[in-house]
């Protein structure tokens, strides 16, 4: 009887309902707002308990000491080159070149990254995966672009005009005169050969027009190493015991 | 006693029906309805709250807290729908370590009804997104990506109709152009289709054929651009049947929802809550079957 009642009522309700549908229900008032999630909310325990084991595992892996740095390095230390930038560009060269060589039989000529891309300082003491995540929180990966000598000259011109410590590896040296004009450029100890093309390793962000590095547009060829810059840093940290980096004369004013 | 109840309810219902017949006034009994829409966008794997010493967002966000807020609103009004406008993935090591599994599991625990797909949701490739599907107990909705020749074929709804307290809510989703933003290696054979044309077709279907009381777009197009790139603003102005656009992609923090006017002169609401789960968006719709279409809507934002 009870079940029957329920059925009947449901049926009636449906009828009422269907009749409603003939005349679409009309919105007469709308209100809207943004609610900030703050620590005034405790959070639901069952969810916190669900998250905790994942967080614990991540933290263990991230904080495992991989290498040691005797000093802290910041991107503000240095004029035209910085120790941290030199470190990042040299790591990029060291980690990328074997991959590139294996794939193409060619060698990278030099590396160019961007100063803005260094997102944190390198702390003194233990260096971990977390350090790599802090330096490079984005998923940028390394591309090797084949550029004409004209494009290389544009690249040098960009660095000379910008006067910013964009990270370059030690395979390239740029010397400026006191009046900020270009004195000399060498790549692997030799001046730019107009007949030659050059292989420049950079991030996919810069290769796709970031920081207005237009000389990277329309390269002769482009090789995606499928190697995240962050993973290059982590692999390097795992390989070495002590991180050594300093300001040198790869880019300086006489 | 039971029999009496039965009779009473029968009489009451019959009387109600016969008094009103099947005419419009049949709805006079319970003409008013209240629907709450809650939403997030660009959470980017931000599961934990920001630390207390964070420069920009100290102590803000956190999924467990968001869950508490959502639950209290759900108690207040069970006629609630919960949506996300994409870029669920990428931004913290949770994603790098677990590939989005935790994000999808948590959204399922929070009882999300649906999400659309953002450009970063392709970050582990279309296979990476596909792999996480078993963990999503909510609908993935997109209307302008053709997944026919991809592994996602059949796993994404063109649109979905939700029924809450007798109200039909039609929901569709729009994604941003992937070319130039996401590597082709990641999105593979996904084909991007023009959002405005698709929106016009689908919303016409939702309003006219499906008789939806409300049409909502989950958009990862971005709020507004200086160029002629299609955005939530251009979508609102150049379509006819959208009531609410829940936006994302541009990480736009708004003080309150924005009201735009569509091609037919009707109001369209756009709301977006920045990023990283710092805010929850809330839109309340109040319905009345007795109101005439000619009467205006009061928008309280
Ligand atoms: Zn985003």
DSSP string, B222-276: -S--SSS---HHHHHHT-SS-SEEE--SS--B-SS-EEEE-TTS-EEEEE-B-ST
Task: Using the structure block, give the residue that is written with the tokens 């590597």.
Answer: B183
**Minimal CA separation from B269 to chain A, in Å:** 9
What is the pLDDT, as a whole number, of residue B23?
Answer: 39
pTM over 0.80: yes
Q: Which domains does chain B have, with CATH numbers?
A: 3-11+32-300 (3.60.21.10)
Q: How far apart are the first and last CA of chain A?
A: 100
Is the residue at A24 inside a domain?
Answer: no
Q: Which of B94, B166, B214 sits opposite A17 (nearest CB)?
A: B166
In sign, the C-alpha dihedral spanning A18, A20, A24, A25 is negative
- For ligand 1, the distance from its centroid to the CA atom of residue A225, given in whole angstroms, is 25
CATH of the domain at A108: 3.90.780.10
Render A93-104 in DSSP notation, one character per residue.
HHHHHHHHHHHH
- For ligand 1, the distance from its centroid to the CA atom of residue B60, given in whole angstroms, is 18
**Which helix (H) or strand (E) segment is B109 a member of?**
helix B101-109
- Residues of chain A with C-beta less than 8 angstroms from the C-beta of B256: 32-34
Q: Which of B69, B285, B293 sits opposite A41 (nearest CB)?
A: B69
Is the residue at A164 inside a domain?
Answer: yes
CA–CA gap between residue B22 and residue B24 (Å, rounded): 7
Check CB contact under 8 Å for B64 and A44.
yes
Is the residue at A160 inside a domain?
Answer: yes
Q: Cβ of A78: how many Cβ atoms within 10 Å?
A: 19
Query: Which of B27, B271, B292 to probe the A interface (max A CBs under 10 A)?
Result: B27
Q: Searching chain A, which residue's CA lies closest to the CA of residue B214?
A: A27
Is the residue at A170 inside a domain?
Answer: yes
Is the residue at A49 inside a domain?
Answer: no
**Complex ipTM:** 0.89
What is the pLDDT, as a whole number, of residue B293?
Answer: 64
In chain A, how many domains are there? 1
Q: For residue A241, give its domain range.
A: 60-253
Strand partners, A64: none
Query: Which of A14, A34, A54 to probe the B interface (max B CBs under 10 A)?
Result: A34
Is the residue at A45 inside a domain?
Answer: no
Task: Give the closest residue to A17 by CA, choosing from B6, B29, B81, B161.
Answer: B29
Q: How confident is the model at residue A126 (pLDDT cuts 50, 70, 90)?
A: very high
pLDDT under 50: residue ranges of chain B: 1-28
Residues 6+ apart with CB under 8 A from A13: B13
Q: How confident is the model at residue A122 (pLDDT cuts 50, 70, 90)?
A: very high
Q: Searching chain A, which residue's CA lies closest to the CA of residue B109?
A: A47
Check CB contact under 8 Å for A5 and B5.
yes
Q: Is the pLDDT of residue A105 over 80?
A: yes
Q: Searching chain B, which residue's CA lies closest to the CA of residue A207?
A: B180
Strand partners, B246: B218, B271
Beta strand pairing call for B32-40 and A198-203: unpaired
What is the pLDDT, as a whole number, of residue A5?
Answer: 40
Beta strand pairing call for A26-36 and B279-288: antiparallel
Q: How confident is the model at residue A143 (pLDDT cuts 50, 70, 90)?
A: very high
Higher pLDDT, B10 or A156: A156
Is the residue at A72 inside a domain?
Answer: yes
Is the residue at A176 inside a domain?
Answer: yes
Mean pLDDT of A68-86: 96
């Amino acid at each position: 009887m009870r079940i029957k009642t329920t059925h009947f009522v449901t049926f009636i309700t449906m009828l009422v309902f269907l009749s409603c549908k003939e005349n679409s229900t009309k919105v007469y008032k709308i209100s809207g707002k943004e609610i900030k999630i703050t620590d005034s909310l405790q959070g639901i325990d069952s969810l916190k308990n669900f998250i905790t084991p994942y967080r614990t595992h991540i933290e263990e892996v991230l904080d495992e000491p991989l290498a040691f740095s005797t000093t802290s390095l910041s991107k503000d230390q240095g004029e035209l080159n910085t120790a941290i930038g030199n470190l990042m560009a040299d790591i990029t060269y060291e980690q990328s070149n074997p991959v590139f060589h294996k794939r193409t039989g060619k060698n990278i000529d030099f590396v160019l990254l961007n100063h803005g891309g260094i997102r944190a300082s390198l702390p003194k003491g233990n260096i971990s995966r977390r350090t790599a995540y802090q330096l490079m929180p984005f998923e940028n990966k390394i591309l090797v672009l084949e550029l004409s000598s004209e494009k290389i000259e544009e690249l040098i011109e960009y660095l000379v005009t910008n006067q910013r410590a964009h990270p370059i590896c030690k395979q390239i040296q740029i010397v400026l005169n006191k009046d900020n004009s270009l004195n000399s450029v060498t790549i692997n100890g030799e001046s730019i050969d107009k007949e030659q093309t050059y292989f420049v390793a950079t991030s996919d962000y810069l290769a796709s027009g970031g920081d207005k590095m237009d000389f990277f547009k329309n390269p002769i060829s482009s090789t995606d190493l499928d190697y995240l810059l962050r993973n290059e840093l982590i692999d390097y940290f795992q390989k070495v015991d002590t991180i050594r980096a300093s300001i040198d004369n790869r880019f300086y004013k006489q | 006693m039971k029999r009496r109840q039965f009779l009473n309810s029968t009489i009451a219902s019959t009387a109600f029906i016969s008094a009103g017949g099947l005419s419009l006034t049949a709805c006079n009994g319970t003409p008013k309805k209240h629907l709450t829409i809650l939403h997030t966008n660009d959470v980017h794997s931000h599961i934990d709250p920001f630390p207390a010493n964070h420069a920009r967002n100290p102590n803000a966000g956190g999924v467990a807290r968001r869950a508490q807020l959502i639950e209290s609103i759900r108690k207040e009004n069970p006629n609630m729908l919960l949506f996300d406008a994409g870029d669920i993935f990428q931004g913290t090591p949770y994603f790098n370590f677990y590939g989005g599994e935790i994000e999808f599991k948590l959204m399922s625990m929070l009882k999300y009804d649906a999400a659309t797909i953002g450009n970063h949701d392709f970050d582990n490739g279309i296979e990476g997104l596909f792999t996480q599907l078993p963990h999503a107990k909510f609908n993935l909705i997109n209307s302008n990506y053709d997944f026919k020749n991809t592994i996602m074929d059949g796993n994404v709804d063109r649109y979905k109709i939700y029924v809450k307290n007798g109200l039909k809510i039609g929901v569709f989703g729009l994604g941003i152009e992937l070319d130039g933003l996401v590597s082709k290696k990641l999105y593979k054979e996904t084909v991007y289709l023009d959002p405005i044309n698709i929106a016009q077709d689908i919303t016409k279907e939702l309003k006219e054929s499906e008789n939806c009381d409300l049409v909502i777009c989950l958009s990862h197009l971005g709020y507004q651009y200086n160029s002629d790139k299609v955005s939530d603003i251009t979508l609102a102005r150049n379509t006819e049947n959208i009531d609410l656009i829940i936006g994302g992609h541009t990480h736009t923090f708004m003080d309150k929802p924005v009201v735009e006017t569509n091609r037919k002169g009707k109001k369209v609401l756009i709301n977006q809550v920045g990023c990283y789960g710092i805010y929850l968006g809330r839109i309340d719709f109040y319905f009345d079957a007795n109101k005439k279409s000619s009467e205006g809507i009061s928008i309280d934002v």
